[in-house]
Amino acid sequence: MKGRCNRTMGIYNFRFIDLFAGIGGFHQAMRHLGGECVMAAEIDHTCLETYKRNYKTKDIRTDVRDIQPESIENFDVLCAGFPCQPFSKAGAQKGFQDEGQGNLFYVILDILDAHPEVKFVILENVRNLADKGENWDVIRSELRKRNFYITEEPLILSPHNFGIPQIRERVYILGIRKDIRDDTVLKNKYIHISDLKLEKLKNRNQCEMGTAWSVLEENVSDDYNIGDEAALMIDAWEEFRKGTGIGTVSFPIWINSFGLNIKYNKVFRRKIGYDDMPEWKQKFVDGNRKLYLENKVFIDTWVAHYNMLSRIKLYQKFEWNCGIDVDDIRDAIIQIRQSGIRVKRPTYYPSLVAIVNTPIIWDKQKQRFRKITPRESANLQSFCKDFEFVGSDNQAYQQLGNSVNVRVLQILGKKLFSLAREGWDKNG
């Protein structure tokens, strides 16, 4: 059934556009608040097909650079999760100097120039955008020129601040047209976090031990079970952890930093080029070497039993981030990364990312280690229960990794709209 996530639940009556729409996180949030999407734009073909599968929006465009702003129907709210690569640590961090994606922000400005009726702006980007003052200064000054009061400082929030078990810091930029503000609520010429009543939430972890399990589904297909070798390596490192008592160790464990079968520290250090290492890495090596010498008999036997030296490098690395809060690895969240097997407390999941690096859990019902499913990943992003994906599972993970969290945007949208005079939406 097309339009699965198109239900309206809110008390407002407004029209919005969804730029750089992805799979419609903004769309769902605005629909929850009563909005009608009059135009969406997304350049990725698979995301676009997923969008069409789930929403009834008639006017769907592809490349925002091809949009004539005057061709868009009148609307009240501009939503945009504009491209993050120019600001992301994973990219070159050129910001607005990026001649391609960095300049897409100016497409947003062109649309605002052609639509003076717009009342609100809601933008989202990676946390890194806030790290360079010049990027924030461009956004703030350009939106102010267009008659908007906006957030005084970059508003950095994560789903875990709201009790949603995912740590995913993002910058949210909220704007309200100056002439529609309720000056009994918004008294300054900017939006402060206290105006949004979010000061108690910012930087607060609302997720307790075990919150991570709240997104899991029952009767999950065996398709999501991890391979036998991966499962064996997780169990092997659990045996290592219990055999060496590393619950309080604060550094990653790397087998190649043990100095296996090397008796003297001087010989080991010379062999690995210790003196040429930076101080932080020397401390890391020292910790691993000390751990090995204190547990030599156990570790030598363990390495031989599991044939660890013949395993791929990522299986030779381990990081326990649970302290003494977790008794067994099967009660934790696991990721197998290029940096090794990483284990975290079951409070929240690491940020879903566009590159597939899916968290692993122990399914008590199946008695197997498995990846969390696309549906469970969608739960982490607060997507509606009957949302459907187009494409493979890997594409679904990528789509969600590039998406926004629906619940967070719903909360922020509602708080932003509350700053306006009563009746702002009567002609929505």
Residues recognised as catalytic: 84
**Alpha-carbon distance 36 to 25, whole Å?**
14
For the record, the structure tokens of 398 come out as 């990528």
Q: How far apart are the first and last CA of the chain?
A: 27
Measured in residues, the chain has a length of 428
For tokens 């990725």, name the residue. Answer: 44
CA angle at residue 338 from 239 to 320, to 5 degrees? 35
HEC readout, 89-131: CCCCCCHHHCCCCCCHHHHHHHHHHHCCCCCEEEEEEEHHHHH
Q: List the beta bridge partners of residue 368.
A: 363
Q: List the beta bridge partners of residue 341.
A: 318, 336
**Alpha-carbon distance 321 to 387, whole Å?**
33
Cα torsion 185, 190, 192, 197 to 10°: value is 30
**Alpha-carbon distance 124 to 335, whole Å?**
27
**Burial annotation 395-419 (CB, 10 A radius, 16+ → b, else e):** bbbbbbbbbbbbbbbbbbbbebbeb
Residue 304 CB partners (closer than 8 Å, separation 6+): none
Whether residue 251 contacts residue 283, with contact meaning beta carbons closer than 8 Å, is answered with yes
Put residue 31 in one of left, alpha, beta given phi > 0 → left and psi -120 to 50 → alpha: alpha
Whether residue 399 contacts residue 46, with contact meaning beta carbons closer than 8 Å, is answered with yes
